[in-house]
Amino acid sequence: MPTVGARKNPRPGSFAGYRTYISRLQALARTPDQGGIWNEHAVAALNGQASTMLRKTASRHLRRKHGTFFTGTELGARLLSRTGITHHEGFFYDPACGMGDLLLAAARTLPLGATLSETLELWGRRLAGTDLQPEFIDGTKARLVLLARQRLGQTRPGDSTIASLFPKIRIGNGLLERDTYKRATTLLMNPPFGLARTLSGCTWAGGRVSMAATFMVTALERSRPGTEVLAILPDVLRAGSFSEQWRERISELAEVHLVEPYGVFDETTDIDVFVLRLVRRDANLKKSKRWPALYKTRAASVSDCFDVHVGRVVPHRDKKSGPEHPYIHPRSVPAWRTLRELAETRKHKGLVYKAPFVVIRRTSRPGHPYRATATVIAGKASVAVENHLIVCEPKDKTLKSCLHLMRQLKSNRVNRFLNRRICCRHLTVAAVGAIPYTTTTKRTERKA
């Protein structure tokens, strides 16, 4: 996702093409409901339309640069359901609020006032958000008005201008904010994920790191003891070996109450995320509830320990010329076996793979007993591999790692992961590379 650093004066209007959509939302919030259709529009505006319209009006490059990927309704509701706070006096702050999807999820849990203006006033006192993009701030406010009207069944719009509502939701840089962190009882976070330089004085990393990591540490450093943080974060922070120091820093600052893998962020964004619940520590108390140990010893994914490729031989396209190699295709590699002898050979000029390695059939279906059916190719031969097989070459070049991977692929854990991650018949290199891979053998996953 993005690379927006801690700029003091954000340049407004990067998402100017989105303005027409924001104007439509504002008009809808000001329009009376004269029989049915208003509610349909409001439902769409509150569920996913903001993301769809952003994809239509802003290039992928721009969205990645600024890290603008809005949380879906289901994931937002899941995040809020993980709160440990039961009282109704919460003050929510999303420091990088985008179109307000997490604030909407919070507002769905807030009480209503007797009238629309009372409700908006009440919510305005308890919801705060900052974002660098002015369009998103206007959009957040309009959507909160839509939600309030929808929940109240209010057909008539209120008297106030939308801009005058929600004074604590405003253009701002969440990395420079201070007071609002202090006031918040719950921080809601799905910060930008892209890489950017660490802030000056950073002790837990150097160079370029995920903005999400920087946002989390900044938020915790500035919040009061007892503040709850509910966050959606890239999976690499949960388990990646490069993020170990970040997890240490988080454990120093906060009690880690929940680390919950979620799967792919949404259908259009090929990135795995997890849900995190923290409570800011009191510096004087004992440092219990640190980051769960499992995640310290576990490599993030298959691609951390294996090079993953698609086999290079396309049988009906490639000429049989060049050196003769042992040759494998899906029918010649029995499932869950270790092959030391390969019966077939083929002339092939292109890339071949040196054993040992694991091959996985590309074609699988959700509902089949195993989504990633594997075979280990042992020995030392250079093998021509058909393109219906995915090759996983162990970075440590050992047969032991191949056998370890095959054992893990034959599991419901991997099935569940792939069913969530990819619904089409063909496994992709990205999906196989992202399969969680445990380098330690006998540990049970635990939630804090």
Ligand X SMILES: C[S@@+](CC[C@H](N)C(=O)[O-])C[C@H]1O[C@@H](n2cnc3c(N)ncnc32)[C@H](O)[C@@H]1O
User: Does 140 sit near ligand X (CB under 6 A)?
Assistant: no
Q: Least distance (Å) from ligand X to the CB of residue 73?
A: 10
User: Does 106 sit near ligand X (CB under 6 A)?
Assistant: no
Region from 91-99, 288-296, 327-335, 358-366 binding ligand X, contact rule CB under 6 A:
91-99
Strands annotated E in 334-373: 338-339, 345-347, 353-354, 357-361
Q: Are 174 and 215 in contact (CB under 8 A)?
A: yes
User: Does 4 sit near ligand X (CB under 6 A)?
Assistant: yes
Q: Which is nearer to ligand X, 99 or 116 (CB)?
A: 99
Q: How is the beta sheet containing 338-339 ordered, strand by strand?
A: 306-310, 389-394, 357-361, 374-377, 338-339
User: For ligand X, which residue of 136, 246, 327, 437 counts as binding (CB under 6 A)?
Assistant: 136
Determine the Cα angle at 192 with ends 110 and 189, to 5°: 25
Buried b (16+ CB within 10 A) or exposed e, 115-153: ebeebbebbbebbbbbbbbbbbbbbbbbbbbbbbbbebe
Q: Least distance (Å) from ligand X to the CB of residue 171?
A: 9
Report the residue number whose CB is nearest to ligand X. 98
User: For ligand X, which residue of 133, 210, 223, 408 counts as binding (CB under 6 A)?
Assistant: 133
Q: Which is nearer to ligand X, 70 or 357 (CB)?
A: 70
Region from 52-60, 96-104, 270-278, 426-434 binding ligand X, contact rule CB under 6 A:
96-104
User: Does 130 sit near ligand X (CB under 6 A)?
Assistant: yes
User: For ligand X, which residue of 124, 134, 158, 192 counts as binding (CB under 6 A)?
Assistant: 192
User: Does 2 sit near ligand X (CB under 6 A)?
Assistant: yes
User: For ligand X, which residue of 67, 134, 326, 394 counts as binding (CB under 6 A)?
Assistant: 67
Q: Least distance (Å) from ligand X to the CB of residue 124?
A: 18
Q: Which is nearer to ligand X, 265 or 306 (CB)?
A: 265
Instruction: Look up residue 351 and give its two tokens.
Output: 């890339």
User: Does 175 sit near ligand X (CB under 6 A)?
Assistant: yes
User: For ligand X, which residue of 28, 80, 127, 173 counts as binding (CB under 6 A)?
Assistant: 173
Reading phi first (left if > 0) and then psi (alpha if -120 to 50, else beta), residue 160 is in beta
- With CB under 6 A as the rule, give the number of residues binding ligand X: 26
Tell me which residue of 332, 421, 385 sits closest to 393, measured CA to CA. Answer: 385
Instruction: Look up residue 187 and give its two tokens.
Output: 């921080």
Q: Least distance (Å) from ligand X to the CB of residue 60?
A: 14
User: Does 272 sit near ligand X (CB under 6 A)?
Assistant: no
Q: Least distance (Å) from ligand X to the CB of residue 351?
A: 38
User: Does 373 sit near ligand X (CB under 6 A)?
Assistant: no
Q: Which is nearer to ligand X, 190 or 375 (CB)?
A: 190
Length of the chain: 448
Give the β-pairing of 357-361 and 389-394.
antiparallel
- Three-state secondary-structure class, residue 62: helix
Q: Are 392 and 344 in contact (CB under 8 A)?
A: no
User: For ligand X, which residue of 42, 96, 146, 237 counts as binding (CB under 6 A)?
Assistant: 96
User: Does 181 sit near ligand X (CB under 6 A)?
Assistant: no
Q: Least distance (Å) from ligand X to the CB of residue 280?
A: 19
Q: Which is nearer to ligand X, 68 or 364 (CB)?
A: 68
Taking each helix axis as running N to C, give the angle between helix 49-57 and helix 37-46, from 0 to 180 degrees, rounded to the nearest 10: 70
User: For ligand X, which residue of 190, 214, 223, 408 counts as binding (CB under 6 A)?
Assistant: 190
Q: Least distance (Å) from ligand X to the CB of residue 81?
A: 15
User: Does 66 sit near ligand X (CB under 6 A)?
Assistant: yes
Q: Are 319 and 384 in contact (CB under 8 A)?
A: no
Long-range pairs, 304-307, Cβ under 8 A, ≥24: 304/240, 304/241, 304/437, 305/394, 305/395, 305/396, 305/401, 305/405, 305/437, 305/439, 306/358, 306/392, 306/393, 306/394, 306/395, 306/401, 306/405, 306/433, 306/437, 307/392, 307/393, 307/395
CA separation for the pair 225, 75 (Å, rounded): 27
Sites of contact with ligand X (CB under 6 A): 2, 4, 66-71, 94-98, 101-102, 130-133, 136, 173-175, 190-192
